[in-house]
Amino acid sequence: MQDFTVSTSSRQEISDINMQVNEIISKSGIREGICLVYTPHSTCSIIINENYDSDIMLDFIDAISILVPKGKWRHDKVDGNVDAHIKSAIIGPSESVIIKDGKLKLGKWQNICLADFDGPRKRKVYVKITEG
């Protein structure tokens, strides 16, 4: 297992982590298998989405914020971030992707990203590669 840290600079931010994940795969030497990408935080998620047009990520944040607005939840009296917990729980902390020929088997426009809903923070990402 390998890990790296992502630093975010705003409350809600999506960071492309494809490069870091591909680097770990390359160093592993594994040509065929499964790559699990996981974050151990309760207010961020791992997603797969297009990142070619940055507006898609902004639209994603806008859409999830409409679905789960900030400031209307019981836990907000404690630290004001329950919307981030709910968003993370809906989306999930991990993604698994097939590795073929030493590379992630993603679609043409797909990238792996970390979605932080309660930044700015430093977020840990773990990558586990299984051969097979």
The CA-based dihedral angle spanning residues 100, 101, 102, 105, taken in that order and rounded to the nearest 10 degrees? -30
* pLDDT computed for residue 130 by the predictor: 96
Predicted pLDDT of residue 104: 96
Question: How many CB atoms lie under 10 A from the CB of residue 80?
Answer: 13
Residue 108 is part of a domain; what is its CATH number? 2.60.120.460
pLDDT of 121 strictly over 80: yes
pLDDT at position 107 = 94
Per-residue pLDDT at 115: 98
For the segment 88-112, the average pLDDT, to the nearest whole number, is 96
* Longest Cα separation, the chain: 50
pTM for this prediction: 0.93
Indicate whether 102 pLDDT > 90.
Answer: yes
Query: Per residue in 4-52, pLDDT tens?
Result: 999 999 999 999 999 999 999 999 999 999 999 999 999 999 999 987 8
Each residue's pLDDT tens digit, 44-87: 999 999 878 888 999 999 999 999 988 887 876 778 889 999 99
Task: Give the pLDDT confidence score for residue 73 in this predicted structure.
Answer: 78
The number of folded domains in the chain is 1
Output the pLDDT for position 92: 97
* Domain with 36 in it: 2-131
DSSP calls for the chain: -EEEEEE--SSSEEEE-HHHHHHHHHHHT--SEEEEEE---TTEEEEEEE-SSHHHHHHHHHHHHHHS-SS-STTHHHHS-HHHHHHHHHH-SEEEEEEETTEE---TTEEEEEEESS-S-EEEEEEEEEE-
